[in-house]
Homo-oligomer: A and B are copies of this chain.
Amino acid sequence: MYKIISNQQIGNDFYIMAIEGSFEANPGQFYMLRGIGSFMTLSRPISVFDVGKDKIAFMYRVVGEGTKYFSKLKEGDEITLYGPYGNGYPVSDYKDKKVALIGGGMGIAPLFYLAKQLDNAEIHLGLNSRDLTAEQKQYLGQLYATHAPTTIHIDTDMSEKLDFSKYDAVMTCGPEIMMYKLTKKHENVYVSLEKHMGCAVGACLSCTCDVAGKRVKVCKDGPVFKGSEVSYDDAIKLL
């Protein structure tokens, strides 16, 4: 159990929660967060938003019962978390390369810490017009801009907007359909997949999918994969 330092509402349903403790994680890894003892049977996978000395932060959106519970926690309350889990983005391979970080919706969460670890990143935040007020978007833009040049795209398809030739890699997180489209635009696209999870350690097979022709576990082998190797069955269904 860890103590909550702060749990700030930064948009309609957007929150950033900071938790006390000593943590080590790579950008793109995630933790399993849970509350209220065993009343909640499944922990919720949430990406690392930021890691600092003696604290870690998560950015999350309230979508159901579990995240609603998180949103009600206050400074001083306790929370249980396990992790870090999975493999993050290939930071060391692209440390000083030019990288586009493209987030869609809550997919912007892992990009903050990711930008911090890269020397030459550019951040593109895809936010829709419902979730955040103009001010809130500006606030987020400024927040992210502390680590890299940041642009905010509202309700636009970023795969159409950018000149991908100038990047060595694209690292993205967001709706599958967005990530799928990006995959077609550049050779080195790294995507972060989302699946309902039970164990987060590779034990339950709740989160498997096909990558590079093999069954992989998103929790353990991912959540970050090379986009071109992912089989987008689900995303393609939506096209």
Please give the number of chain A residues whose Cβ is less than 8 angstroms from any Cβ of chain B in the complex: 6
Q: Which residues of B contact A77 (CB under 8 A)?
A: 74
Q: Which residues of A contact B (CB under 8 A)?
A: 36, 39-40, 74, 76-77
- In angstroms, Cα B36 to Cα A100, docked, is 42
6 interchain residue pairs of minimum CB distance = A39-B39, A36-B36, A36-B39, A74-B76, A39-B40, A74-B77
Closest to A39 in B: B39
Q: Which residues of B contact A76 (CB under 8 A)?
A: 74
- In angstroms, Cα B36 to Cα A231, docked, is 41
Greatest chain B CB density within 10 A among A39, A74, A77 is at A39
- In angstroms, Cα B77 to Cα A76, docked, is 11
- In angstroms, Cα B76 to Cα A54, docked, is 26
- In angstroms, Cα B74 to Cα A224, docked, is 40
Closest to A76 in B: B74
6 contacts between A and B (CB under 8 A): A36-B36, A36-B39, A39-B39, A39-B40, A74-B76, A74-B77
**What's the minimum C-beta distance from A137 to chain B, rounded to whole angstroms?**
31
Q: Which residues of B contact A36 (CB under 8 A)?
A: 36, 39
- In angstroms, Cα B34 to Cα A39, docked, is 14
**What's the minimum C-beta distance from A180 to chain B, rounded to whole angstroms?**
37
Closest to A40 in B: B39
